[in-house]
Chains A and B, each alone.
Chain A
């Protein structure tokens, strides 16, 4: 998909995120909105998958380690044909396949259930190890939050991925600078992320996570790198990107908009409310 197409798609994904969280009455819009360009670009232009055959041997693996941003993943999956867009209205409701955090047993296309932070990253690395041992060419991608890096197992995984030279593994940090209790810097600083991972033996690039050109180049860099190291994209992003009052604050980390806020958000995203 070209730049124009991606821009439109990203806007549409943002609308679906806000709509589905509003419908659910709860959920995590802030960190979903910050990762839109990162994940839309991946699914549109890089990730190999078949919604009709989600367990296909030739697929690449994507794991949403920041599982609370399920509305982001679900919106993109709906577009890609894993399930009807209409189904997004069932998010977080009893009996829905769209659980509050991704559930691999309920929704085909989810590789592993996530929600407990840090775990998806380690599982993704384990998949990468297994693929590498079997000399397979499939790639593994994981999306993490910056606050998530406070989990200790993240660093165990970072160490092991480097030790086993998992160059088929690409981790993306959606560094939106906020977590539920406040700014990452004030809660428990994680910077400098890039240098930390470099010292753990990773190949790293740092980009603006909303600049589609930079996002595209970062994934290209992963696919062409020959360092023999696991690959990290540190993406500087804006929490709540696209909805002015959700931007740059922890306020909408885990909260749905009110009816008034929803109206305002949809107008900002170029659409009249439902």
Chain B
């Protein structure tokens, strides 16, 4: 039985932990502190948590200002509004000036569920990845989330960290896990096909790989939690080994992880790459599991895609 944890809860807890040792940490939120869980920081350090109201653009401008005066700022809202509405501010002010602002968005992707398309950001990776200076990270489980938040706090410069509303199964163990920036870890080795996944899809990819083993299909699985910069070595090595790559992301097939992999391999080691993601469509209301099936992103869909493309 898998154990599930909410990444945003870990985010809030980690902020509190960091805030105890570092008075320079400011946290900002846009009226969603209960949902993003920055409320945990607010409860401990009310003087260093700022609710900016329903005004994501202004939140990020204030975040930029606080960073200029020496603060490490974590600014949170839902991915749609924070990366979407405030994109130009992120681009022109935060990223250009290389400011120490960590944009940690929750509720990315279709797994937002019932709230529907208006709240499901399936374009945020594309939006953030296109901006110079911006690092883009997407954790696959709770432990990785905590490690990324720590890394963000100790690393200067702008960063986008993509979290979800849903709880994620625990994939990694404290004893064996360490976060290395710019690294795509090989979670399972294999020789027939490589699944490169991020976020919630990492678990689906692992499940699919185990089921495929039963059918004598050897699957390699990569956790591409560092989307930018990307671990080109690990991806090119996978392309060499398996010749076929399937990318899995809870994001549009335009501009996200799949696009990043294609851009890399097209330049350095062209092999067939199949992108699994939202096929240039908006999401809709429904239960997360129903939506993963509807948009053909479930474990079964990965299995099917592997088989179709290995023939």
Contact surface of A with B, Cβ cutoff 8 Å: 61, 104-105, 111-113, 115-116, 119, 121-131, 133-134, 152-153, 156-157, 159-160, 163-164
Contacts and interface: CB of A to CB of B under 8 A. Distances in A.
Interface in B82-103: 88-89, 92-93, 96-98
13 contacts: A61-B68, A112-B93, A116-B88, A122-B62, A122-B65, A122-B89, A126-B62, A128-B65, A129-B62, A129-B65, A133-B26, A134-B69, A156-B57
B71 A130 contact: yes
Given A127-B68, A156-B58, A119 B47 contact: no
Interface string B37-81: 000000000011010110101100111111111110000000000
Contacts of B50: 129, 164
Given A105-B96, A116-B88, A130 B48 contact: no
Contacts of A105: 96-98
A123 B86 CA distance: 14
A160 B68 contact: no
A124 B55 contact: no
Contacts of A152: 57
B197 to A, nearest CB: 36
B103 to A, nearest CB: 15
A223 to B, nearest CB: 20
Given A126-B62, A130-B66, 20 more contacts: A61-B69, A105-B98, A111-B68, A113-B96, A115-B92, A116-B88, A116-B92, A116-B93, A122-B58, A122-B64, A125-B61, A127-B68, A129-B62, A130-B26, A133-B26, A156-B55, A157-B58, A159-B58, A160-B52, A164-B50
B92 A127 contact: no
Nearest to A131: B69
Which DSSP category, helix, strand, loop or mixed, fits chain B's interface? helix
Interface of B: 26, 47-48, 50, 52-53, 55, 57-58, 61-71, 88-89, 92-93, 96-98
Nearest to B89: A119
B113 to A, nearest CB: 29
Nearest to A111: B68
A153 B64 CA distance: 14
Contacts of B89: 116, 119, 122, 153
Contacts of A113: 92-93, 96-97
Contact of A130 (B58, B69, B92, B98): B69
Q: Which 9 A-B pairs have the closest CB atoms?
A: A126-B65, A122-B61, A156-B58, A126-B62, A130-B69, A127-B65, A156-B55, A130-B66, A123-B65
Contact of A124 (B53, B65, B70): B65
A125 B65 contact: yes
Contacts of A61: 68-69
B22 to A, nearest CB: 14
Contacts of A125: 61-62, 65
Interface centre among A131, A134, A160 (most CB of B within 10 A): A160
A44 B97 CA distance: 27
A159 B53 contact: yes
Contact of A123 (B47, B68, B70, B98): B68
Contacts of A115: 92
B96 A123 contact: no
A153 B57 contact: yes
A105 B92 CA distance: 12
Contact of A160 (B53, B67, B70, B98): B53
